[in-house]
Chains A and B, each alone.
Chain A
Amino acid sequence: MLIAENLSCGRHGKTVLDGVSLQLKPGEVLGVLGANGAGKSTLLATLAGELPPLAGSVTLNAVPLTMQSAQQQARCRAVLPQTPSLAFELGVRAVVATGAYPFPELSPAALDTLLDRALNLADAAAFTTRRYTGLSGGEQQRVQFARVLTQALAQRTSGEYRALLLDEPTASLDPRHQLLLLQTVARLAHEEQLAVLVILHDVNLAAWWCDRLLLLANGTVAALGTPQNVLTPPHLRMVYQINATVMPHPNAPERQLVCFG
């Protein structure tokens, strides 16, 4: 399991976020909400082992990240950063296949099946005949999503912990694909016991799709818990500094709908 304990994170020795403790459990989607500059991406980079913790610890399967090789980490957690880029023209399928690089034991046939599955899950199968650089930003994002799905689903050993860290995966997607992506993520978490951490800006998407929410404000954790407990007007005001009304969702009264202003 990916566990942060009393974590301080930041870049170049400057603390952005302090006192974060969380467990990323298999089978759950943990949404991270916070204003711009609240430290969401810094937290994700620290959980991904890119930045060393300034204090506290991050452990993956009970071993501190700093003591694991990049290869070991890559076999049980995949990361989708915010701005996907590609220096040269690589085929769409080749981009997705990089997700399987940490798993050299996969047979060619198993790999093909895996790639097809990931491409379909990300609704990117139609792009395989196109050039990556010719795709729109949102379409590239879906290809990158297929890549991290490949990495997260490649682990064959059952019961093995697999984490998926997504940094604003819906940023450049149209409403339908925002919904499709989060639906896919939630289904994989619940059916395949993936542990998912996803940074979101849309509070209502988070309210609908996440099992737990982490609210960041003032350089620390403002709230951590179920959407029902976390999405309250005082919390939202603390995070975004604007008034919010929380009401039952018209299509599912047990869920919340948040209106700002």
Chain B
Amino acid sequence: MSRSASLASAPARDMSVNKALWVLLALCAALIVLVLVSSSQGAVRIPVTEIPDLLFGDLLSDEEALWRNVLMEVRLPRVLLAVIAGAGLTVTGTVMQALFRNPLAEPGLIGISSGGALGAVAAIVLGAPTLFWLAPAAFAGSLVATAVCYALGRRHPGMSSLLLAGVAINVICGSLIGLFTYMANDAQLRSLTFWNMGSLAGATWQQLAFLAPWTLILCLLLLREWRGLNALLLGEREARHLGFAIERLRRRLVVLVALIVGPLVAATGVIGFVGLVVPHLVRLSLGADHRWLLPNTVVAGAIALSLADWLARMVVIPAELPIGMVTSLIGGPFFLWMLTRKMR
């Protein structure tokens, strides 16, 4: 599928490419500001203006040494993990929604995330020799969950069967995670909450060195599928008539999604609803042309999760809330609202 970018100005007059581009640039700027502000605030406050100096300058005082330590060892890794996880979860949500033709398809809701969590937990408890094995195990879990969901959701089209399949997968994975947790000793598992609620607290540079390029490259691969995703909006038959080998396209999308979500879940646990709320809002403001929708959701998702992380750290200083709880607190009611709108 070597489709060049020659359709560049295709929907120009129709959906004002300019607007989408400006929004994208504005979102990028907002993300950078947010990352700086967010990494300056928390139990230890670091002046934003000092950050460049701390990162690149020479040390002066003990206070600055402490700041640098907090920034480099704690703050920055988790803020960047929020950026990456937000981008990954949101773009996969957008893709799932087009694939299932259903605005409620979201990695958390339909069980892809808990599948990944189960894979990771199983790897830990069954004695994976190194943390390296978490990501592939989580990917396998995500892939199986997606495949099951897809098979069920396709056999009985309509939004309820997909969501019910998701509920079932979530319950099964949740109970198996519980079982594994029960079998595990304290050293093996930090806590059940980590997997069910999600957390960014464990972020390390080591993790980021793998997750950041991995997620970024896979996101770019997903962005390239915008034509296929647009065609899927018209329907599977129509997409086929437009020259897309549907089965291959579908398989490719599902694998890409699982490859993104699995390792993210292994690093952060299940963070729900980002992939539901953000694509919906971006679609409302920019329309569903995936050429522009996808890049915008990537950045908007990064912003949303960074914001949620910032909230999670600021509300109960010096303690913090699990990030998954924050996103669920915001996303849950939003989900209900979407559901009632859709039912009407």
| Interface contact A81-B227, CB-CB below 8 Å | no
Contacts A94-B11, A100-B7, A107-B6 given; does A88 touch B243 at CB 8 Å: no
| Interface contact A102-B14, CB-CB below 8 Å | no
Cβ-based interface call for A202 (8 A): no
17 more contacts with CB within 8 A, not counting A81-B238, A98-B242, are A71-B245, A74-B242, A79-B238, A79-B241, A85-B235, A87-B233, A90-B288, A93-B11, A101-B7, A101-B242, A101-B243, A101-B244, A102-B242, A104-B6, A107-B6, A108-B7, A111-B6
Cβ-based interface call for B207 (8 A): no
| Interface contact A104-B287, CB-CB below 8 Å | no
| Interface contact B242-A99, CB-CB below 8 Å | yes
Q: Mark out the residues of chain B between 70 and 129 whose CB falls within 8 Å of any chain A CB in the assembled complex.
A: 97-98, 101-103
Q: What is the CA–CA distance of A87 and B66 in the complex, to the nearest angstrom?
A: 52
Q: What is the CA–CA distance of A74 and B244 in the complex, to the nearest angstrom?
A: 8
Q: Mark out the residues of chain B between 228 and 242 whose CB falls within 8 Å of any chain A CB in the assembled complex.
A: 230-235, 237-238, 240-242
Query: Inside 8 A of B233's CB, which chain A residues have their CB?
Result: 86-88, 90
| Interface contact B245-A106, CB-CB below 8 Å | no
Report the minimal beta-carbon distance from A97 to chain B, rounded to whole angstroms. Answer: 4
Report the minimal beta-carbon distance from B136 to chain A, rounded to whole angstroms. Answer: 32
Q: Can you show 16 pairs from A to B with CB atoms below 8 A apart? A: A48-B241, A70-B244, A70-B245, A74-B243, A86-B234, A87-B101, A87-B233, A88-B97, A88-B283, A91-B11, A91-B15, A98-B242, A99-B242, A102-B243, A108-B12, A112-B9
Report the minimal beta-carbon distance from A95 to chain B, rounded to whole angstroms. Answer: 7
Q: What is the CA–CA distance of A94 and B15 in the complex, to the nearest angstrom?
A: 8
Contact pick for A81, options B1, B11, B231, B237, CB 8 Å? B237
Q: What is the CA–CA distance of A168 and B148 in the complex, to the nearest angstrom?
A: 36
Query: Inside 8 A of A90's CB, which chain B residues have their CB?
Result: 230, 233, 287-289
| Interface contact B240-A50, CB-CB below 8 Å | yes
Chain A residue with Cβ nearest B103: A88
Q: What is the CA–CA distance of A84 and B14 in the complex, to the nearest angstrom?
A: 20
Cβ-based interface call for B156 (8 A): no
Q: Which residues on B are within 8 Å of A, measured CB to CB?
A: 1-4, 6-15, 97-98, 101-103, 227, 230-235, 237-238, 240-246, 283, 287-289
| Interface contact B6-A94, CB-CB below 8 Å | no
Query: Inside 8 A of B6's CB, which chain A residues have their CB?
Result: 104-108, 111
Report the minimal beta-carbon distance from B210 to chain A, rounded to whole angstroms. Answer: 33
What is the interface size of chain A, counting residues whose CB is below 8 A from a CB of the partner?
Answer: 42
Query: Inside 8 A of B242's CB, which chain A residues have their CB?
Result: 74, 98-99, 101-102, 151
Report the minimal beta-carbon distance from A146 to chain B, rounded to whole angstroms. Answer: 12
A81, A87, A107: residue with the most chain B Cβ atoms closer than 10 Å:
A87
Contacts A81-B235, A90-B233, A94-B230 given; does A100 touch B10 at CB 8 Å: yes
| Interface contact B10-A108, CB-CB below 8 Å | yes
Cβ-based interface call for A75 (8 A): yes
Contacts A48-B241, A88-B283, A90-B287 given; does A104 touch B3 at CB 8 Å: yes
Q: What is the CA–CA distance of A87 and B288 in the complex, to the nearest angstrom?
A: 9
Query: Inside 8 A of A89's CB, which chain B residues have their CB?
Result: 283, 287-288
| Interface contact A104-B243, CB-CB below 8 Å | no
Q: What is the CA–CA distance of A50 and B247 in the complex, to the nearest angstrom?
A: 12
Q: What is the CA–CA distance of A71 and B3 in the complex, to the nearest angstrom?
A: 11
Cβ-based interface call for A158 (8 A): no
Cβ-based interface call for A78 (8 A): yes
Chain B residue with Cβ nearest A104: B3
Q: What is the CA–CA distance of A211 and B70 in the complex, to the nearest angstrom?
A: 80
Report the minimal beta-carbon distance from A157 to chain B, rounded to whole angstroms. Answer: 16
Cβ-based interface call for A69 (8 A): yes
Query: Inside 8 A of B245's CB, which chain A residues have their CB?
Result: 69-71
Q: What is the CA–CA distance of A69 and B287 in the complex, to the nearest angstrom?
A: 31
Cβ-based interface call for A92 (8 A): yes
| Interface contact B243-A70, CB-CB below 8 Å | yes
Q: What is the CA–CA distance of A78 and B238 in the complex, to the nearest angstrom?
A: 9
Q: What is the CA–CA distance of A98 and B241 in the complex, to the nearest angstrom?
A: 11
Report the minimal beta-carbon distance from A204 to chain B, rounded to whole angstroms. Answer: 29
| Interface contact A85-B13, CB-CB below 8 Å | no
Cβ-based interface call for A220 (8 A): no
Q: Mark out the residues of chain A between 170 and 204 whose CB falls within 8 Å of any chain B CB in the assembled complex.
A: none
Query: Inside 8 A of B241's CB, which chain A residues have their CB?
Result: 48, 70, 74, 78-79, 81, 151
Report the minimal beta-carbon distance from B73 to chain A, rounded to whole angstroms. Answer: 43
Query: Inside 8 A of B8's CB, which chain A residues have their CB?
Result: 108
Contacts A48-B241, A90-B289, A104-B4 given; does A98 touch B234 at CB 8 Å: yes
Report the minimal beta-carbon distance from B211 to chain A, rounded to whole angstroms. Answer: 29
| Interface contact A98-B3, CB-CB below 8 Å | no
Chain B residue with Cβ nearest A105: B6
| Interface contact A93-B235, CB-CB below 8 Å | no
Report the minimal beta-carbon distance from A73 to chain B, rounded to whole angstroms. Answer: 7
Cβ-based interface call for A226 (8 A): no
Contact pick for B288, options A69, A88, A93, CB 8 Å? A88
| Interface contact A88-B235, CB-CB below 8 Å | no
Q: What is the CA–CA distance of A202 and B13 in the complex, to the nearest angstrom?
A: 37
Cβ-based interface call for A128 (8 A): yes
Query: Inside 8 A of B12's CB, which chain A residues have their CB?
Result: 108, 112
| Interface contact A70-B246, CB-CB below 8 Å | yes
Q: What is the CA–CA distance of A101 and B231 in the complex, to the nearest angstrom?
A: 9
Query: Inside 8 A of A147's CB, which chain B residues have their CB?
Result: 234
